[in-house]
A and B are shown apart, each in its own frame.
Chain A
Amino acid sequence: MLILKPKFEFDVSVEAELTPELAEKSLEEIKNFKVWYGNAEKTLGELFDVEKEGDGKKLLLDGDFSKVKWVGTGMDDGEIVIKGNIGANCGAYMKGGRITIEGSADDWLGAEMKDGEIIVKGNAKNLIGCAYYGNPSGMQGGKILIEGNAGNYIGEKMTGGTIEIKGNAGDFIGTEMKGGEIIIHGNCGYAGGDMKAGTIKIGGEFDLLPTFRKSENGWTGDVLVGGEGRILKI
C-alpha cells in the first residue's frame, strides 16, 4: 500500500494519473512519478509525502485531494481509498478495481468507465459517468454508487453499467442514454432527453418531458429519437 499526503495546500490544480500499480514500484520511482502542478511539471515527491507499506496494489490518499484531478484514470485493477474529497475526472476510463471516496467527488466522476466500482460516501458533482465532449459513448460498464446527492448531466450517453444515487440529483439525467441503468432514490429534474435505450429508476419527484409515452409501469421514450428507453418509478 502506498500512502500519499499533500505537503501543502495547493493553489492550483494537480493533474496526477495515479493508479494502484504505482504502489508496486520502488519508493524512488514513486517519488519521481511525473505530475502537473498548474502548468509546471513536478514529481510526486515534491507535492506529497510518500510512504509505503508492502507492495499491495492499493493507494491511500490521506488529506484534501479536492484539487487533485485524474486519480484512478484508466485503472484496471487494485484499490484506491480517498480519505477526503477528490478532484475532477476521478476514475475516468476506469477498467477495473475499486475506488472508495470517503468525502465528496468533483465533476466527471467515472467518465467513460468500462468496468470496476466507485463508491462515494459524500456527494458528487456533475457529469458522472458521462462521455467527454465529442465522444459517442459515456459509461459502458461497472458501477458508481453515491451515498449523498449528485449534480446535473448524470450518465449522459451511457451505454452500460449502473449509476446509483441515494440522495437527490440535478437536471438532465440520462441524456442521450443508450443502455445501462441509473437509479435515483431522491428527486431530480428532467430525465431521459433523447434517450434511445436503458433504464432510469426514480424514487422521488422528477420532471417528465412531453416526448415520453405512458407504458406498462412507467414511461417509454424519447419518441423524438425513436427511443425505447424506460423511466420507472420506484
Chain B
Amino acid sequence: MLWIKNGIVIDPKNKIDGEKMDIFIKDGKIVDESEVNKDECRVIDANNKLVVAGGVEMHAHIAGSKINVGRTMRPEEMRIVRHTANKLRASIGRVLLTSPAIGYEYAKIGYTTAVEAASPPIGSPHTHEELDAIPIVDKAMLPVFGNWHFVFKYVAEKDREKLKAFIAWAIERTKGYGVKVVNPGGVEAWMYGGNVKNLEDEVPNWGVTPKEIITELVKSNEELDLPHSVHLHCNNLGNPGNYQTTIETMKLVSGLANEKRQTLHVTHVQFNAYAGSSWRDVASGAEEIAKVVNSMDNITIDMGQAIFGHATAMTGDAPFQFTLHKLTGSRWVNKDSEIEGGAGIVPIAYLPKNPVHALQWAIGLELGLLVDSDKVVLTTDYPNGGPFTEYPYVMAMLMSRKMREKELERVSPYVQKATSLPAIEVEKTLYDVIQMTRSLPARVMGMENKGHLGIGADADVAIYSINPDDVDPAAQYELINSEFRKPVYTIKGGEIVVKDGAVVAESWGRTFWVDARKKVSLDSIDEDLNSFFNSYYTIQRKNYGIQEEWLRNPVRVEVN
C-alpha cells in the first residue's frame, strides 16, 4: 500500500487542475482513502511536486518485424551502451533501442503503457515475444488490416457481416487490440511496383478503392464497438500536397459518432500534412488540417513530431519507404510484402539546417499547437520522427513560445515562409500537455483504467519535481525539459520502478488484447478461411496465430 501525500495533482480526465491532494494505492489500483490502513502504507512525500498518471504511448514501433530488421541493418545504433548488466539487464541502442532499453527508457520519463502500432498479422507470435521482452510497461499491439486480401474480398462483396467476423477472428488470432490500417490498397499495389494516389484509385485486381476500404473498416469497427477506433495511416504519406488527401480521408467519417471515443484516429499526421506540389515548393498544410480536426468531434490525431538528430523511418507503407530511399540515397530494406502487409525501413537523421527536415519539425509543432488539446496526442511515431525519450523536449516546446523562438534561430529559414510556426502564440499549459500524454491517449485507445488517477484506475503514477503553483512553463522551459526527463518516482501497478530518474526495479507489465468473437458469427467465414489457407498461406490454419497462454501476462478485454 502506498500513500502519496500532499502532491499537486493534474488529472484532466477527472477535471483536476493543480489540486493539492493525497493518492492511495492498494493491490495495483488507485483506491479511496477508506480502503487503506494508513499505518501500513509506505508514504511518499509529494509536497510541492506534480503528481500525474503514468504516460500512455499510443503509437510507437517497439516490437516485431520492422524494428528488429532496423536493428539488424543499423549496427551503428548498437554502439551506444545505455547500461551494462548488473541488477537490470544490459541495454543498448541510440534510437533503435533493444527491448529492455525500451521498457527502462519509457519508465525513466514517467511512461507506463506503450502500444506497438503496426504488426503484420502472420508475424504476431514474434511481435508478442518481443513485447514480452520489454519490461515494466503495459502493452498492446495493432495488427494491420488495410492490405489484407480477406478485407479486400469482403469490401468488394459489400459483406459487412463477414468483414466484422473476420476482424474479430483476426484480432483474436493475433492477440491484437484494434484495427490498424496503413496506406489502404497502396501496399497491395506496391506488390506490382505501384501505389494508389488518391482515395478513388482502384486497388489492382480487387476493384476496391482506399475510400471503400476505410469506410467499411470504420463502420465494421463501430458496429463491433471495439475499445479503439480504426487507427489510420493515410494514403499518400510523405508527398507534397498530401494534406488534401488527409482532409478528404477525415471527412469520410463525418456523420458517424461514438460517445466514448473518436470514430477515426489519424496517426502521425505530420507526415501527412504537406502542401505544395513538389519538394521545391513544399509547405505546411497543418493549419487546414487543424481546422478540420477541431471542427469534427469524432476525429483524433497524433503528432508524429520530428526530432532533430538520429531516427529511423520504418512503416508498413512500403512504397513510401522506397520513395524515401530514392530521395535520400540511404539504405533501404523492404519487408513483409509477401504477407498481409508490407514495410520498409530507411535510416534518417533530421538536420536543423535542412529545409525539408526543419519543415517537418515545424509542422509537427504546428499540429500540436493548433489542434485542441483533447484531440491531439503527443507522439514522435518512434522511431520514425525520432526517439520517444525526447517527449519532454516536445512538451516544453508546446508550452513555451520563448523556447520555440530560440529553437527557430537554429533551423533553416525555409520554415519562416513555409509554415505558420513563428507566428503561433499558443502556449499550452501543464494541464494541456498532461492531457496530450495521459488522459487523451488512454481515451483514444479505449483504456478506461489508464491515463488518470480516479478511483479504480491502474496505479500507474509519475511524480515530477515541478511545482505547478510556482512554475511558469513559458519562461522556465529548461526546467520543464529537464524535470520531465527524470521523475522523482515512476510507479507502475503500485510498484516503485523509477526513483530520481533511475530505474530501481524491474517489473513485468501486461499485454491487453481484445476479444470480440461474441459479437459475430465466426461460422460465416469458416469456409473462406479454409479455402484461403489451403490455397495461399504457407502454414496451416490451425498453426496460424498465437495462443493466449503463450503470452507472458495477457489481459483479455471482452467486447459484448
Q: Which residues of A contact B (CB under 8 A)?
A: 132-135
Contacts and interface: CB of A to CB of B under 8 A. Distances in A.
A134 B95 CA distance: 14
A133 B72 CA distance: 11
Interface stretch (B73-81, B505-513, B545-553): B73-81
Contacts of B76: 132-135
Closest 4 CB pairs of A and B: A134-B76, A134-B75, A133-B75, A135-B76
| Secondary structure type dominating chain A contacts | loop
Nearest to B79: A132
A134 B78 CA distance: 10
Nearest to B349: A136
Interface in B53-76: 73-76
Contacts of A135: 76
Contacts of B77: 134
Given A132-B75, A132-B79, 9 more contacts: A132-B76, A133-B75, A133-B76, A134-B73, A134-B74, A134-B75, A134-B76, A134-B77, A135-B76
Interface of B: 73-77, 79
B69 to A, nearest CB: 14
A87 to B, nearest CB: 19
Nearest to A225: B329
11 contacts: A132-B75, A132-B76, A132-B79, A133-B75, A133-B76, A134-B73, A134-B74, A134-B75, A134-B76, A134-B77, A135-B76
A134 B73 CA distance: 8
Nearest to B84: A41
A132 B75 CA distance: 9
A104 to B, nearest CB: 27
Contacts of B79: 132
Contacts of A132: 75-76, 79
A132 B77 CA distance: 11
A94 to B, nearest CB: 17
**Which residue among B74, B76, B77 has the maximum number of chain A CB atoms within 10 Å of its CB?**
B76
A135 B77 CA distance: 10
A133 B77 CA distance: 10
A225 B218 CA distance: 46
A132 B76 CA distance: 8
Nearest to B74: A134
Contacts of B73: 134
**Which residue among A132, A133, A134, A135 has the maximum number of chain B CB atoms within 10 Å of its CB?**
A134
A92 B74 CA distance: 20
Nearest to B73: A134
A63 B500 CA distance: 47
Contacts of A133: 75-76
Contacts of B75: 132-134
A83 B76 CA distance: 33
A135 B75 CA distance: 9
Contacts of A134: 73-77
A135 B80 CA distance: 13
A133 B75 CA distance: 6
A223 to B, nearest CB: 17
